[in-house]
A = this chain, B = another copy of it.
Amino acid sequence: MARARYTIGIDFGTESARAVLVDVSDGRELGVELYTYRNGVINEHLPAPNDDIVLGSEWALQDPSDYLETFRETIPPLLRRTGVEPSDVIGIGIDFTACTMLPTTLDGTPLCFLDAFRREPHAWVKLWKHHAAQPEADRINAVARQRGEPWLERYGGRISSEWFFSKALQILDEAPEVFRAAGRLIEAADWVVWQLTGVEMRNNCTAGYKAMWSKSDGFPPDAFFASLDPRLEHVIDEKMSRRIAFIGERAGGLGAPAAELTGLREGTAVAVANVDAHVSVPASTVTEPGTMVAIMGTSICHMVLGDRTAAVEGMCGVVEDGIIPGLFGFEAGQSAVGDIFAWFVENGVPAEYHERARRRGGDIHQVLAEEAARLRPGESGLLALDWWNGNRSILVDTDLAGMLIGMTLATTAPEIYRALIEATAFGTRLIIDTFEAAGVAVDRIVTCGGLPEKNRLFMQIYADVTGRPLRIAASAQTPALGSAMFAAVAAGPDAGGHASIQDAARSMAGLRDEAFLPNAACRTVYDDLYGEYVRLHDLFGRGGDPAMKTLRRIRREALESATSVPG
């Protein structure tokens, strides 16, 4: 029997990073290490000693030191605790939140590491959920529409304030000296790979999904950037790169400083950077069209593969080779799912249910789900629109808000809890229907993320509402596993790794045995309710009734009049 070979995958999340050490032959996870970022999400003021610098309300920054610290804090203990020899670790791969980006010098030093820029918020990492660049996103969309930019269709007709050029343009607008000083503007994903290998190498996944790049057309033309701002005209050639590496490729070998930091051997294969949601697709066994991967947590990312491109209303993006080489990767999403349930548990559930959970030593969600599971579909008379954090797909409108209809004096908290779950399931079904209407098949669903394993009711409702069988990925940390799989591909078969991500998926990824199958009787009732959901969705979401926009306007005016009161 051949000597066992291992790879390490590191998933850089929002509050923490997670590293997993995996057996390349069967995907067995020998060990996991978590590192919680010291400076976490920076959204009120810069870290001490610069904590007198206060941030705006929609800001969210990170400290690149936390990424470097992740390597130091996770890989040496992982080797020590598993007893695996560094020589048996054939590759390392990372995935990251996106778009999370930063300005650096030409040699890759983050501007926020420099004394001159330490107190300048725009010199720090802009985290994916930094939402202060909406005016810039609006400008990009307006100019792109005006110029008839063909790439706009690949992003469902609108790009987000979270994306690369919205954030880059905000730096230029608000801190032109930071923009000028930035030799590079780069995704954090690519920056950490650069720190590992010593070589700047950008990945096609973030370039495609967040920076409007495509394999066939490259980036938007310079003339487009010039129309946004003359100083932006040559941003690609001056501060980025037209050389894009593909996921699954080897970015380089581990450099001496990184080898010292991690305890791994110099030259160990480092995979091209990837994105958390995207890397979860093969980690959930999916490498072919027809199966949706739903990454279910605070929000849901919906990932589907297709043989050809398609214009899907309100999707986040379609990128050739963006998820699996050789296929088109489609992404859509719901901006709040677990977040809605968490909001409800925090703000809308009376003490008796919390008390019951405490007495049983259980979780409040379990108590609510148990009660809610006793209800038949439709029995509560409730229906919700799941827009507590706006609507990402298919309406792409952050100004939309939640709605609940059908309450009586007999309505209970578990009934509302179930209606909220159902609403998010209807949202997913509408995304599936929109994919299928555009010719992208979704025959079954594989789920991963935090929610599926916690909440069986949630899973059954999704099966009943969508009419598709649901499975759960075997790994509890699909992103880190996915990164370890891409690391095995980057190492290649000669080093004991895999020839392709498909091969890696066959060997290293798996599903849990249990399946959630649609119940025909429930599905009939849900078809009925879904009809109501779609009508109300279109009524409030497509401008038929202006209530949500008007309430948002009145709210904004009320807050402005409040802040304008003297004293």
Identify the A interface with B (CB < 8 A): 336, 339-340, 343, 346-351, 354, 376-383, 388-389, 401-409, 411-413, 416, 521, 525, 528-529, 532, 535-536, 539-540, 545, 547-548, 550-552, 554-555, 557-559, 561-562
| Beyond known contacts A340-B409, A382-B551, A406-B555: 19 more, CB 8 A cutoff | A343-B409, A346-B350, A351-B354, A376-B562, A377-B558, A379-B558, A379-B559, A380-B555, A381-B401, A381-B551, A401-B408, A403-B403, A403-B406, A403-B407, A406-B548, A535-B547, A536-B545, A536-B547, A539-B545
On whether the beta carbons of A528 and B548 are closer than 8 Å, the reply is: no
Partner of A413, one of B347, B376, B555: B347
9 A-B pairs with CB atoms under 8 Å apart are: A340-B409, A350-B350, A350-B351, A351-B354, A378-B554, A388-B407, A389-B408, A406-B551, A406-B555
A426 to chain B, nearest CB (A): 13
Report if A555-B403 is in contact (Cβ < 8 Å); known contacts: A409-B343, A545-B536. Answer: no
The 4 closest A-B pairs by CB, nearest first: A402-B407, A351-B351, A381-B555, A378-B558
Name which residue of chain B comes closest to A348, CB basis. B348
Smallest CB–CB gap between A380 and chain B, Å?
7
Partner of A336, one of B339, B409, B521, B552: B409
Known: A348-B350, A402-B408, A408-B388. A378 touches B413 (CB 8 A): no
Q: State the Cβ distance, A195 to closest chain B Cβ, in Å.
A: 34
Picked from B376, B378, B550, the residue with its CB within 8 Å of the CB of A532 is B550
Q: Which residue of B lies closest to A526 (CB)?
A: B554
Most chain B beta-carbon contacts within 10 A, residue among A383, A388, A407: A407
Cβ of A390 to closest chain B Cβ, rounded Å: 8
Shortest beta-carbon distance, A415 to chain B, in Å?
9
Alpha-carbon distance between A547 and B530 when the two chains are bound, in angstroms: 11
Complex alpha-carbon distance, A562 and B522, angstroms = 12
Minimal beta-carbon separation of A334 from chain B (angstroms): 13
> Using Cβ atoms and an 8 Å threshold, which residues of chain B touch A559?
376, 379
A545 to B535, CA, bound (A): 9
Expressed in whole angstroms, the Cα–Cα distance for A447 and B384 within the complex equals 35
Using Cβ atoms and an 8 Å threshold, which residues of chain B touch A346?
Answer: 350
Which chain B positions have C-beta within 8 A of A407? 388, 401-404
A378–B408 touching, CB < 8 Å: no
Task: With both chains docked as a complex, state the minimum distance between the C-beta of A290 and any C-beta of chain B, in angstroms.
Answer: 32
- Could you say which of A346, A377, A378, A552 has the most chain B C-beta atoms within 10 Å of its C-beta? A378
Q: Which of B350, B405, B550, B551 contacts A349 (CB 8 A)?
A: B350
* A339, B411: Cα distance in complex, Å: 12
Q: Are B406 and A388 neighbours in the complex by a CB distance under 8 Å?
A: no
**A436 and B304 alpha carbons, distance in the complex (Å):** 59
A552 CA / B406 CA spacing, docked (Å): 8
- Closest Cβ of chain B to A445, distance in Å, is 25
Residues from chain B with a CB closer than 8 A to the CB of A536 are 545, 547
**B contact residues around A389 at 8 Å (CB):** 408-409
Chain B residue, CB-CB nearest to A298: B409
Residue numbers in B under 8 Å from A349 (CB-CB): 350
CB pair B383–A525 under 8 Å, yes or no, is no
Give complex CA distance A547, B381 in Å.
10
Residue of B nearest to A403 (CB): B405
Say whether A409 contacts B388, CB under 8 Å.
Answer: yes
* In the bound complex, CA of A383 to CA of B408 (Å): 16
- Contact across chains for B376 and A558 when beta carbons are under 8 A apart: yes
